């Protein structure tokens, strides 16, 4: 069994992504945020200012470690040194959640080892399921903690896939024992980029494909609008848009409330604006609870920070 008790306790908590411009704000103003998510690789240095900082943060907030470089779908082996650095960090700050993406990163170029430095997409085929499940199992065994696997925005469309993205994620989770981190915004970006007639409806159908007990966290984000016909880039540069809030409501009804993160990485607003976004997410969760109570669906046992 992997450590997961902290994650259970934070079910339905709302946090924000903590990025460099807000480091001092986060240490001085802790109200309004139930947890923070940081990018793992930014704190890999075993010593120095960044490690001191993340230790200080861990004394004030539960931390979710979100990676961008594990490359869990890589056919080339994941670099052992990378996993050891992640383990060193997790042993140090004891995050309640560790997540990364359903992507690949490790490869070779002209015979030399390469990390692609991006979240590269995978075809939804059995071979990719098996490779990703094996990689996740290896990392979970080393870390001693369950991973959360996030659905990806893909700018490449595969001509033929023997399974859908949701089938793919479900198979990987069932085979590896990981849970899923459902990025609500990524579903919508993919639906738009695939030219769905009704992107919101299409994203809802994708949600319906997922077993309700696999999803343990939601990501909410916004993107820069583009002209018709252009691909939307998942740039996390805007407030969560209304379409994303609507799909969040749908996901809450489908999966029940889960740990929820406001992701904002570029063109960052001030810390207070981020807290306002977190507050809005809480309101949506409360509205869900009210809907459940009216329809006799029962309570979800929300944590104090959400119900207060």
Pairing, β 215-220 against β 104-109: unpaired
What single-letter DSSP state applies at residue 78? P
Separation between Cα atoms, residue 274 and residue 262, nearest integer Å: 8
Span of 77-85, 91-99, 198-206, 249-257 interacting with another protein by CB under 8 A: 77-85
If binding is defined by CB under 8 A, does position 134 make contact with another protein? Answer: no
Cβ distance 165 to 132 under 8 Å? no
Residue 108 CB, nearest approach to another protein (Å): 6
In the numeric block, the tokens 């934070």 are attached to: 10
Sole binder of another protein in the list 17, 62, 71, 95 (CB under 8 A):
71
What single-letter DSSP state applies at residue 75? S
Separation between Cα atoms, residue 252 and residue 221, nearest integer Å: 16
- Measured from the CB atom, the residue of 80 and 141 that comes closer to another protein is 80
If binding is defined by CB under 8 A, does position 92 make contact with another protein? Answer: no
If binding is defined by CB under 8 A, does position 127 make contact with another protein? Answer: yes
Span of 4-12, 73-81, 177-185, 200-208 interacting with another protein by CB under 8 A: 73-81
If binding is defined by CB under 8 A, does position 124 make contact with another protein? Answer: no
Residues within window 169-228 making contact with another protein, judged by CB under 8 A = none
Maximum Cα interatomic distance, the chain, rounded to a whole number of Å: 62
Separation between Cα atoms, residue 119 and residue 124, nearest integer Å: 15
**Residues within the interface to another protein (CB under 8 A):** 41, 44-50, 52, 69-71, 74-76, 79, 81-82, 85, 104-109, 112-118, 120, 122-123, 125, 127-128, 131, 155-160, 231, 233
């Amino acid at each position: 069994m992997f450590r997961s008790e902290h994650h259970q306790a934070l079910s339905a908590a709302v946090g924000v992504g903590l990025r460099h411009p807000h480091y001092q704000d986060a240490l001085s103003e802790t109200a309004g945020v139930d947890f923070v998510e940081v990018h793992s690789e930014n704190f890999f240095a075993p010593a120095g200012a960044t490690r001191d900082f993340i230790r200080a943060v861990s004394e004030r907030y539960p931390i979710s470690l979100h990676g961008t470089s594990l490359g869990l779908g890589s056919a080339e082996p994941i670099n052992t040194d990378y996993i050891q650095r992640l383990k060193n960090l997790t042993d140090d700050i004891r995050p309640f959640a560790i997540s990364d993406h359903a992507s690949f990163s490790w490869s070779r170029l002209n015979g030399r080892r390469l990390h692609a430095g991006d979240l590269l997409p995978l075809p939804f085929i059995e071979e990719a399921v098996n490779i990703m499940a094996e990689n996740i199992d290896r990392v979970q065994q080393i870390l001693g903690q369950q991973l959360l696997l996030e659905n990806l925005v893909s700018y490449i469309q595969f001509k033929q896939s023997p399974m859908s993205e949701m089938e793919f994620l479900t198979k990987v989770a069932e085979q590896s024992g990981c849970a899923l981190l459902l990025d609500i915004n990524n579903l919508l970006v993919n639906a738009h980029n695939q030219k769905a007639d009704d992107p919101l409806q299409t994203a809802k159908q994708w949600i319906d494909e997922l077993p309700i007990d696999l999803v343990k966290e939601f990501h909410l984000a916004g993107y820069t609008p583009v002209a018709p016909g252009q691909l939307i880039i998942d740039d996390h540069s805007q407030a969560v848009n209304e379409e994303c809030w609507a799909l969040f409501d749908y996901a809450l009804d489908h999966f029940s409330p889960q740990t929820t993160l406001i992701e904002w990485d570029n063109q960052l607003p001030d810390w207070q604006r981020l807290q306002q976004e977190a507050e809005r997410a809480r309101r949506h969760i409360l509205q869900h609870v009210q809907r459940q109570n009216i329809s006799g669906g029962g309570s979800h046992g929300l944590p104090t920070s959400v119900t207060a």
